[in-house]
Amino acid sequence: MRKKIVAGNWKMNTTLPEAKELAIAVAEKSAQVPASVGLIVAPPFVNLNCVGHKLEGSRVELSAQNCADHTSGAYTGEVSADMIKAVGCKWTILGHSERRQYYGETDEKLVVKTRLALEAGLGVILCVGENLDEREAGKHFDVVTGQTKAVLYNFTAEDMKNIVIAYEPVWAIGTGKTATAEQAEEIHACIRRVIADKFGAAVADDMTILYGGSCKPSNAKELFAQPDIDGGLIGGAALKADDFIQIALSF
Catalytic residues: 96, 168
What residues contact residue 189 under an 8 Å CB cut-off, 6+ apart? 227, 228
Per CB under 6 A, does 95 bind ligand 13P?
Answer: no
Task: Name the residue nearer to ligand 13P (CB basis): 203 or 233.
Answer: 233
Minimum Å distance from CB 128 to ligand 13P? 12
Task: Name the residue nearer to ligand 13P (CB basis): 73 or 104.
Answer: 104
Task: Name the residue nearer to ligand 13P (CB basis): 42 or 122.
Answer: 42
Minimum Å distance from CB 203 to ligand 13P? 24
> What residues from 145 to 174 belong to the interface with ligand 13P (CB under 6 A)?
168, 173-174
11: left (phi over 0), alpha (psi -120 to 50) or beta: left
Task: Name the residue nearer to ligand 13P (CB basis): 203 or 245.
Answer: 245
Q: How far apart are CA 223 and CA 236, in angstroms?
A: 17
Secondary structure in 3-state letters for 104-162: CCCHHHHHHHHHHHHHCCCEEEEEECCCHHHHHCCCHHHHHHHHHHHHHCCCCHHHHCC
Give the residue closest to ligand 13P by C-beta.
Answer: 235
> What residues from 202 to 241 belong to the interface with ligand 13P (CB under 6 A)?
212-215, 233-237
Q: In whole angstroms, what separates CA 137 from the centre of its chain?
A: 26
What residues contact residue 28 under an 8 Å CB cut-off, 6+ apart? 58, 241
Binding mask 4-23 for ligand 13P (x = CB under 6 A): -----x--------------
Number of residues that bind ligand 13P (CB under 6 A): 14
List of residues contacting ligand 13P (CB under 6 A) = 9, 96, 168, 173-174, 212-215, 233-237
